[in-house]
Amino acid sequence: MAKDPIRVLVTGAAGQIAYSLLYSVSKGDVFGLDQPVSLHLLDIPQMMGVLEGVVMELNDCAFPLLREIIPTADEKVAFSDIDAAFLVGAMPRREGMERKDLLAANVKIFKSQGKALDQFAKKDVKVLVVGNPANTNALICSKYAPSIPKENFTAMTRLDQNRASSQIANLLKVNVSNVANIIIWGNHSSTQYPDVSHAVVNINGSVTSVPDGVKDDAYLQGDFISTVQKRGAAVIAARKLSSAMSAAKAACDHMRDWFTGTLEGKFVSMGVISDGSYGTPPDVIYSFPVTIGPDRKWKIVQGLQISDFSQGKMKVTGDELLQEREEALSVCQD
């Protein structure tokens, strides 16, 4: 028996990230090669002409799994009965722009979308916020969708995990699939903490810890961290535009793992509502290592040994999230 299509919303659907994301979702890379999809594509009214071109291209791809495309500028149409949401649409960060400027512009967008989720979406909808500042946008979205569990709102730090894994793989001259369990703690910002202390790498068939494989703690606690933290800014400096292809791939990785589960012994980084684990501030969207079961429920990996160095880094990014939360809530006041 053929499966019923699932309804997948992509906001900012005429933008650069969506251009790559829609291809992967429609092809079956995210929800499965036997899972039909109906796409809800939301963008602002002035982008409807561009979105029309995107719809033409999706049709011209002749994807067997793509059953329906609904392009719209109406939040009610976009959010009605959706099973999954990629909230990509946001004002992008441009060269020289401060995160505070970004926060003020985007909080209002995600407040409105939270209300739309609350009113029109399925109550078990899985929401991934990609648009920056992603962690705090996800928190605001959740606040204005009180009928949907807080656990169903996540922020994307998978791009940071992918960036970190790639740096280690290139350094050790192994395939990136040989690197596992790098953790991104905290905020998707330049304060995030990419942590390799629990990561492993397969080198010529032998599995070892990443610190033992690299044998350079100064690099792992210095240039490695700053390279991952500043990678988004480096891409902007080179392209004059935000990361798009890599962001779309990370969004697909995140949602695929959420829907299909993580592999035994492996965990992934997701921005999720904090319960205070590892001394992090509660009630912010904080990136943790998580495992996901067949029930599509994530669990924070517990019992990891945290060094004093790591605790210091985790506190810095947690403090930033607390500050962002206060700024965002002040912008939200009606």
Confidence of residue 99 (pLDDT cuts 50, 70, 90): low
Q: Say whether pLDDT at 334 is over 70.
A: no
The stretch 187-203 carries a mean pLDDT of 97
pLDDT of residue 95: 67
pLDDT tens, position by position, 52-63: 999 999 999 999
Q: CA–CA separation, 266 vs 151, rounded Å? A: 20
As annotated, the binding site for NAD(+) includes: 43, 106, 130-132
Average pLDDT for the chain: 95
Alpha helices in 243-307 (DSSP H): 245-260
The stretch 15-25 carries a mean pLDDT of 97
Q: Known catalytic residues?
A: 188
pLDDT of residue 93: 66
CB 94 within 8 A of CB 64: no
pLDDT tens, position by position, 208-224: 999 999 999 999 999 99
Q: CA–CA separation, 130 vs 134, rounded Å? A: 6
Q: CA–CA separation, 251 vs 3, rounded Å? A: 23
pLDDT tens, position by position, 272-283: 999 999 999 999
Q: Which residues contact 311 (CB under 8 A, 6 or more apart)?
A: 279
By percentage, how much of the chain surpasses pLDDT 70? Answer: 98
Q: How far does Cα 139 stand from its chain's mean position?
A: 13
pLDDT of residue 332: 79
Task: Tokens for 89, please give them.
Answer: 């649409």
pLDDT tens, position by position, 282-308: 999 999 999 999 999 999 999 999 999
Task: Tokens for 326, please give them.
Answer: 């206060």
pLDDT tens, position by position, 253-271: 999 999 999 999 999 999 9
Tokens 């899972």 belong to: 35
CB 116 within 8 A of CB 80: no
Give the residues across from 291 on adjacent strands: 299
CB atoms within 10 A of CB 299: 15
As annotated, the binding site for substrate includes: 93, 99, 132, 163
What DSSP designation does 39 have? E
pLDDT of residue 306: 98
By percentage, how much of the chain surpasses pLDDT 90? Answer: 89
pLDDT tens, position by position, 171-192: 999 999 999 999 999 999 999 9
CB atoms within 10 A of CB 236: 18
Q: What is the residue-wise DSSP string for 38-65?
A: EEEEE--GGGHHHHHHHHHHHHHHT-TT
Confidence of residue 238 (pLDDT cuts 50, 70, 90): very high
pLDDT of residue 330: 85
As annotated, the binding site includes: 43, 93, 99, 106, 130-132, 163
